Amino acid sequence: MNPAELGSPWASALSSLVTFAAGAFVPLAPWLIATGPRVAPMSFVLGLAAAATIGGVLGWQTRRHVLWSAMRQVFVVSLAAGLTFLVGWLLGTAAS
C-alpha cells in the first residue's frame, strides 16, 4: 500500500461521522414524529430496510451476490438489536 495514494484522515473521519449519524437517525425518525404503539414496529421495519439496502449496495459494489450481502447485513443488525434489547430487558428498562 502506498501512503501517498491514501485519502485524508480528516476526510475519512468526517465521512465516517456523517454516515454513522445518518444510519443512527433512520430508526430514530419514527420516535421523533409519532407516538403510540405503532412507533416501535415502524422503527424496526425502517432499521431492517436500511440494513438490507446497505448490505445490497455493498454486495453490488463488491460484485458479490446482492441478496446474500443484504441478508447477512440484516442478520448482523438483528443480532446487535436483539442483544441491545436483551441488555435493556435485563436492566429493567423499557421504551414507550
96 has pLDDT over 70: no
Tell me the pLDDT tens digit for each residue of 43-72: 999 999 999 999 999 999 999 999 999 999
18 has pLDDT over 90: yes
The pLDDT of residue 95 is 66
Mean pLDDT, the chain, whole residue set: 92
Q: Cell numbers at residue 52, please? A: 438490507
Tell me the pLDDT tens digit for each residue of 71-82: 999 999 999 989
* Three-state SS annotation for the chain: CCHHHCCCHHHHHHHHHHHHHHHHHHHHHHHHHCCCCCHHHHHHHHHHHHHHHHHHHHHHHCCCCHHHHHHHHHHHHHHHHHHHHHHHHHCCCCCC
The pLDDT of residue 80 is 93
